Chains A and B, each alone.
Chain A
């Protein structure tokens, strides 16, 4: 028995306790933590280091954080992100927060990844993203001065493979919790809303006006998303099939995941293809810009009129409410910065 084996036998990582916001604990069921990847302090710390390390990309110029910038709620401000070879994808980088409460565990805009661990696997080898070879990446990590020890402490083995890399990244991602916006504090009686924000919330919740709550949560669902897939009337014909390409079911064509409307201050541009640069454009879309198609969600109302026909004041107020869900404490949280 060599020394490494002895060490592997004795090191026990320390459990990591998620700091769950009171509102989440009160309103939601427990977050999803896989039994085969429990959170540990060592695992989360390792995941963070990997998340910010360019060693994961083919030419060591990009890390996960290149497209998922913590100061922008873990997205970037580009319509499409640029990979290491100058290639662009066709989807907007999704922000990352409150991922442990995605109860169906379907990740990405089209739901193709069935766990955070699996989601973390793909961008590393994707030719238009980090374009690395996992075998080479793990070899480099294995030769690294620090990583073997960090993996040993996190997972009880210093032998590094892609599964453990993605497990560590997923652990870090599960700690990215955003639940301290102005609206959260309002719900806890710690602040008040402006009349515009109050009216905006009413429009959001009013089935006869915005009717946003059916897909985007409410004061009782602080995720502000249903994490489901909808065709929200962006196109008559689909250049990107979204969920339909994954399921093969034509009735899923043009459906994409409802994103959380938290942190919109930081996450422009909007929609799966980043087609809207501003929140005004987003609101105009639901108000007047809906396009009819065979799979448009029945929850999209008044399609004959192009949408729910909000007044100028209602649009402004709705925007004010939406911005009250942004959480600067999240984007400046030093635990999440490099």
Chain B
């Protein structure tokens, strides 16, 4: 009788443990980076080893970007991924229940969330946009060098922000150039790691072939350039492996 009771208790414990585990799955989102399929890490920084669609040779020296409102996380959320400093590329989401999810997030901040100066952690890492451009935050800082038409290394600052037409400084006109990235449906049955891939080459490719000799620095106040970068960004992310 004692053995039966012990077995019963053990069974109840195992069953409840299993069901509890199932209800509390951990999902890790891993942002990885590649150049047209070739994986890159921060060990690939600072070398003129990439060639964009326009044929410009370039290096990556700094890359950090903001994603927000990841669908797997219930409340409003944002995350800074700093590729160069190897920071923020893995986001762990707990308490996921098994099921089918539409995995999506926003690149940058929507206008609603892009409130000037309110995010202490982002202020602390100097991600702000000047008030003269409407304030808020950079969506991305992508800096590097390219080989210019004179075969000299020159800097580029591919910085994305909310597009602003500042032709009339006292009457700024904005266009929300953050965008939603919809990676489709993922089915989660167990704790999992989901790869979200960023193709850096795509920033220079589609639909706007980017000529770094023409568009390199001072892009923040460039209304048209911001819209072009936003358009290119829409083919930058893709769903990778799910383990």
Could you tell me which A residues sit within 8 Å of B by CB distance?
26-29, 101, 103, 202, 205-208, 211, 213-215, 217-221, 226, 251, 292, 294-304
| Known contacts A202-B132, A213-B128, A251-B46, then 17 further A-B pairs from the complex at CB < 8 Å, ordered by chain A residue | A205-B130, A205-B131, A207-B220, A214-B126, A215-B126, A218-B128, A219-B117, A220-B128, A221-B128, A226-B125, A292-B152, A292-B153, A297-B155, A298-B143, A298-B155, A299-B155, A301-B217
How many Å from the CB of B64 to the closest CB on chain A?
11
29 contacts between A and B (CB under 8 A): A26-B120, A28-B124, A29-B120, A101-B124, A103-B124, A103-B125, A202-B132, A205-B130, A205-B131, A206-B132, A207-B218, A207-B220, A207-B221, A214-B126, A217-B126, A218-B128, A219-B131, A220-B116, A221-B124, A251-B46, A292-B152, A295-B46, A297-B61, A297-B143, A298-B61, A298-B62, A298-B143, A298-B157, A303-B155
B169 nearest CB neighbor, chain A only = A202
A28 nearest CB neighbor, chain B only = B124
**Per-residue CB proximity of B181-222 to A under 8 Å, as 1/0?**
000000000000000000000000000000000000110110
Within 8 A of A (CB), among B64-112: none
- Taking a contact as CB atoms under 8 Å apart, the answer to whether A300 and B221 are in contact is no
What separation, in Å, do the CA atoms of A206 and B164 have in the docked complex?
14
Most chain-B CB neighbours within 10 Å: which of A207, A219, A296? A207
Q: A208-B218, A251-B45 are in contact. Are A303 and B128 (CB under 8 A)?
A: no
Residues in A neighbouring B154, C-beta threshold 8 A: 303-304
Residues in B neighbouring A215, C-beta threshold 8 A: 126
What separation, in Å, do the CA atoms of A101 and B120 have in the docked complex?
12
What separation, in Å, do the CA atoms of A333 and B124 have in the docked complex?
26
How many Å from the CB of A297 to the closest CB on chain B?
7
Does any Cβ of A come within 8 Å of B237's Cβ?
Answer: no
How many Å from the CB of B55 to the closest CB on chain A?
20
B156 nearest CB neighbor, chain A only = A298
What separation, in Å, do the CA atoms of A211 and B219 have in the docked complex?
12
- Taking a contact as CB atoms under 8 Å apart, the answer to whether B123 and A221 are in contact is yes
Partner of B120, one of A27, A206, A218: A27
Residues in B neighbouring A296, C-beta threshold 8 A: 155
How many Å from the CB of B161 to the closest CB on chain A?
10
Q: A220-B117, A221-B124 are in contact. Are A206 and B130 (CB under 8 A)?
A: yes
How many Å from the CB of B150 to the closest CB on chain A?
8
What separation, in Å, do the CA atoms of A299 and B141 have in the docked complex?
11
- Taking a contact as CB atoms under 8 Å apart, the answer to whether A298 and B120 are in contact is no
What separation, in Å, do the CA atoms of A103 and B125 have in the docked complex?
9
Most chain-B CB neighbours within 10 Å: which of A28, A208, A220? A220
Does any Cβ of A come within 8 Å of B168's Cβ?
Answer: no
- Taking a contact as CB atoms under 8 Å apart, the answer to whether A218 and B130 are in contact is yes
A252 nearest CB neighbor, chain B only = B46
Partner of A29, one of B61, B121, B155: B121
How many Å from the CB of A21 to the closest CB on chain B?
14
- Taking a contact as CB atoms under 8 Å apart, the answer to whether A207 and B130 are in contact is yes
Residues in B neighbouring A208, C-beta threshold 8 A: 218, 221
Residues in B neighbouring A300, C-beta threshold 8 A: 155
**Per-residue CB proximity of B36-72 to A under 8 Å, as 1/0?**
0000000001100000000000000110000000000
Within 8 A of A (CB), among B140-177: 143-145, 152-157
What separation, in Å, do the CA atoms of A29 and B125 have in the docked complex?
10
